[in-house]
Every structure is written in structure tokens, then in C-alpha cells.
Amino acid sequence: MLIRDLLRELGLDFDLQVPDSPDETRGLMEDAAGSGATHFAMVGGDGTVNLAVNTLMPLALSAPPVIGVLPVGTGCDLLRTFGLPQEVAGAARHLTGDDIYDIDVGTLEGTWGLRYFVNVAQTGVGAAAVQTAASLGRRLGAARYPLAFAARLPGFPRASVKITTERRTIESEALAVIMANAQFFAGGWNVAPKAMLVDGALDIQIIDCHKTYAPALVPKLIKGTHLSDPAVRRLSAAEFSIETNLPWPIECDGDLVGNTAVKGRVIPAAISLKI
């Protein structure tokens, strides 16, 4: 069934737009918000949600925008945190009614500018894998990320990392640092099982292990059983900065944004998710 027909069948009042590019998407959302629109639904995944959030947040709207998601492709990890359907028809039913959930938004800021994220950001080998995964064919689906991770791991350099939060400073050798607002990324990896989108804090994990041990850690990261592993150090923070002695790539919601150094913070209840 076409999305237009599905939404009509559900009795929703909507204006359907089919943009041809991210820039056109941004323009359409800005125009809609300028005309008084407050509810926005998008067909896509976490990257599409990220595009919407980075379009709407700078507008400083008088009330948090309401965002709904109709997942396609490998799905939407943000929705997995809420147990929402990973197929269009099931997710569309959650666009009806008045139920919303006010959730936090994270920020990242570096020499490359300011970016917002909703789901998960990271720096280190995981971000390098995202960079490589983007060059692999979409036909690989959810297999793209693990294949890219395996390809980047052998040559990726460990670094000396300094993480400063509102409460402490940690200096450590590391292979990756994860900043999670929600629980899942990479097509269902339960990377932050204790993360919450309503606590005004990010779940930060420092992965400090030798590269030869990393393949053994991956199954734990997928299942969400890695937090008790000695290679993982976890903390919670409302704001942070990360410095590395080597330039590490940074990604948020599956989009590569630049290199370290980076600082960030949480904006509580910045958007409303349609549930």
C-alpha cells in the first residue's frame, strides 16, 4: 500500500511532500514550520530523524516540535528504544492519537560547527566504521556496519583520550568513546542498555581494549552485556568535552561530522516523539 493511501486509511490529516535531496527536505520543513506546522513525520531512518532535528532545532520554535517516524530500509534504532514497529504500516498507526514523549537532544560542537543528535554519537573506531559503511552498497543492509568495523579495526590507531564532564576528568587510552542518548545503534546493537532519553544526561562509554580483543567484545555490544566487561568504563554526564592526541573521526546518528576535539551537552525535552 502506498504511504498516501495508508495515511488516508488511518484518517490522518497530512500534507505529503517527496523531496529529492536533503537540502530540499530542509527547505520544506523550514517553510512548514514558518507557516505554523508543529507535527512532522518522515519516512526513513535515524539519519532522516537527524536531518529533521538539525533543521528544526536552530529555528528556536515556541514549543518542541512533534516528530513521527515511518522506518524503511534497515529500520530506525531510535524507535527500537521505545519498542515501536520497524515497518511502515505498524509505525503509521502510532501517528494517530495524542500520545507523545518529550525527549532530550544532544549537541556536538567542534571546529566543524554545531550538530544536534537524538540517538547515539561516537568517536574512534566505531565512527571510522560508519565512514566506511557509507561507501558500501545498501543491498548489504544491516551487515554494512559489522563489515565496515572489521575492515577499519586493524589499522585504526588507539589514542590517549581526555574526557571532561561537569563532575570529573578522565584520562585513558582508548579505542572508542560512545555518547548515547538512546539505547540502540548500527541496526539493533544494544550499545547503551541503561541510556534514557528523559534524564538530561548522556550515557558515555570509554572502550579501552587491545584491538585483538575487540572482536570478542562486539557480540557483547550487540546484546547489551558489555557494561560489566573490564574494557568498558561508563559514566553519565549532562555536558562533556573530548580531546585526543590523534585526530579521531566523530559521527552522530550515522552521519560523519568531523574530527576531535569535540564538546557537547544535553538539551532536556527538546523535541516530542510521536509514540
155-201 pLDDT, tens digit per residue, is 999 999 999 999 999 999 999 999 999 999 988 999 999 999 999 99
In a domain, 158, yes or no: yes
Q: What is the pTM of this model?
A: 0.93
pLDDT value of position 1? 62
Q: Are residues 54 and 166 in the same domain?
A: no
Owning domain of residue 88: 3-105
Q: Are residues 131 and 227 in the same domain?
A: yes
The helix or strand, by DSSP H or E, that contains position 130, with its residue range, turns out to be helix 125-133
- Write the pLDDT tens digit of every residue in 41-64: 999 999 999 999 999 999 999 999
pLDDT score of 143 more than 90: no
Last residue of a domain, one of 105, 122, 155: 105
Q: Are residues 165 and 219 in the same domain?
A: yes
Q: Are residues 188 and 243 in the same domain?
A: yes
Total tally of structural domains belonging to the chain: 2
Q: Are residues 199 and 93 in the same domain?
A: no
In a domain, 114, yes or no: yes
In a domain, 273, yes or no: no
pLDDT band at 100; cut points 50, 70, 90: very high
In a domain, 47, yes or no: yes
pLDDT band at 121; cut points 50, 70, 90: very high
Q: Are residues 56 and 148 in the same domain?
A: no
Can you tell me which residue has the cell 523535541? 271
Give the whole-number percent of the chain exceeding pLDDT 70.
Answer: 99
Q: Which stretch of 110-114, 137-141, 197-201, 241-245 has the lowest confidence by average pLDDT?
A: 137-141
Last residue of a domain, one of 54, 81, 105: 105
Buried b (16+ CB within 10 A) or exposed e, 241-273: bbbbeeebbbbbbbbbbbbbbbebbbeeebbbb
- Write the pLDDT tens digit of every residue in 161-173: 999 999 999 999 9
pLDDT band at 275; cut points 50, 70, 90: confident
pLDDT value of position 133? 86
Question: How far, in Å, are 10, 53, 261 from residue 257 at the CA level?
Answer: 38, 15, 12
